[in-house]
Amino acid sequence: MKPSTFRSPLRILLLLEPFSYTFLIHFLMESLDLAINRDHGSTVQLQNQLLFREYADIHTVCALVVLLTIARYSFQHLVQHLLSHSKQYLGISICPDQTKHHKFSESAWKLVWYSSVLYWCYYVVYKEDFFWNTKLCWKNLDVVPSLSFKYFYLTQMAFYLHSSIAHLTIEVRRKDFVQMLVHHVVTFSLIAGSYWAGFGRIGGVVLALHDLNDVLLEGGKLLLYSNFQTIANGVFVLIISSWFVTRLVIFPTKVLYSSLIESTEEMELIHGPNYMSSTDFKYKWPIFNLLLLTIQILNIFWFSMMIRMLFRVIWKKDNLQDSREEKDD
């Protein structure tokens, strides 16, 4: 399969780029206001104002989508150039199979992204009380926990919107093309919907539980493309173990339980026994939980693919490979 071209999408994005500057002005002016007003004692008031969701957040997300796509285009072309000349620069060929250079650059981009997000997640999610006590996810729904969490969440929203577009235009098509597209669309809908519904805290827990697996998965792919088979086998075991623990054990027992059970208990405790039937909540809650269940179904589907690959490696002595790519070349 020939690598997809970036040219047509990039031309469109370059035409949209002037608009992204306009969207970013709002974000930059907010930061500037924080700095200017610090001496006038109004920083806390302004920060509290920004903790509320606002329509200008849509501008920030649109700008980030454009910038992420351009950054990805530049990064992947740089990686592909380095791969083509790695023997000249380093004396070794990092990815000997030139047909996999595009796939390697895709995984390299995702590894850098997910690693950065995991580091960011440590400061804005793992250190928050609601991560360890999910009942707190259903308190103070009108505001986000902090400014850093707000922009973390908006950035993640932009990334999955970008990923949905990229999956249709510039990424290599694999066997699970439809499932991956559903994943991107559902994840974007989950993040966007939870943000505007006030469910951002539990959404942050969902992202935190999934990020570690994504780092290991993309790192394992790079090892496979580079023919480091033995190390890749070890990473594959870590991927399966962490996937099972975080996505098939903790996710349903911590996140789904909190969203299905704790949410109703906390809402009725705070707002009264009739709140769950109120117009404000009766549409948000089932849609949000349906999206969460869809994510869980996809987690089970991909875990079954990994178990099938593990079976082939152990009993049939096949070489480890991405089971999504068995017939895509």
Q: What is the pLDDT of residues 209-257, one digit of tens each?
A: 998 899 999 999 898 888 888 888 888 889 999 999 999 999 999 999 9
According to the model, what pLDDT value does residue 316 have? 63
Q: How large is the greatest C-alpha to C-alpha distance in the chain, in angstroms?
A: 71
According to the model, what pLDDT value does residue 310 have? 83
Element (H, E) at 139: none
pLDDT confidence band for 280 (50 / 70 / 90): low
> In degrees rounded to 5, what are phi and psi of residue 199?
-100, 25
**The pLDDT of residue 10 is above 50:** no
Q: Helix 177-197 crosses helix 147-169 at what angle (to 10 degrees)?
A: 150
According to the model, what pLDDT value does residue 153 have? 94
**The pLDDT of residue 264 is above 90:** no
According to the model, what pLDDT value does residue 247 have? 95
DSSP letters, 233-293, are HHHHHHHHHHHIIIIIIIIIIIIIHIIIIIHHHHHHHHH-TTGGGSHHHHTHHHHHHHHHH
- 263 with 197: CB under 8 angstroms? no
Q: What is the pLDDT of residues 83-134, one digit of tens each?
A: 887 766 666 667 766 678 888 899 999 999 999 999 999 889 998 999 999 9
The pTM assigned to this predicted structure is 0.80
- 75 with 207: CB under 8 angstroms? no
Q: What is the pLDDT of residues 22-43, one digit of tens each?
A: 444 444 444 444 444 444 444 4
What whole-number distance in Å separates Cα of residue 264 and Cα of residue 273? 9
**Boundaries of every domain in the chain:** 7-324
Rounded alpha-carbon distances, angstroms, from residue 127 to 144, 208, 213, 327: 15, 11, 19, 43
Handedness of CA 13, 15, 16, 17 (dihedral sign): positive
Q: Which of 53, 95, 316 is nearest to 224 (CA)?
A: 95
Centroid of chain to Cα 126: 16
pLDDT confidence band for 276 (50 / 70 / 90): low
According to the model, what pLDDT value does residue 176 have? 76
**The pLDDT of residue 144 is above 70:** yes
Burial-class residue 169 by CB neighbours within 10 Å (0-12, 13-18, 19+): middle
Residues facing residue 143 across a β-bridge: 52
Q: What is the pLDDT of residues 44-73, one digit of tens each?
A: 554 555 666 778 888 889 999 999 999 999
pLDDT confidence band for 277 (50 / 70 / 90): low
Residue 328 DSSP symbol: -
DSSP letters, 278-313, are SHHHHTHHHHHHHHHHHHHHHHHHHHHHHHHHHHHH
**The pLDDT of residue 145 is above 90:** no
What whole-number distance in Å separates Cα of residue 281 and Cα of residue 301? 31
Pair of tokens at residue 11: 């031309």
Which residue reads 């178990």 in tokens? 307
Handedness of CA 298, 136, 204, 21 (dihedral sign): positive
For residue 224, is it left (φ>0), alpha (ψ between -120 and 50) or beta?
alpha
Q: What is the pLDDT of residues 166-180, one digit of tens each?
A: 888 888 787 778 888
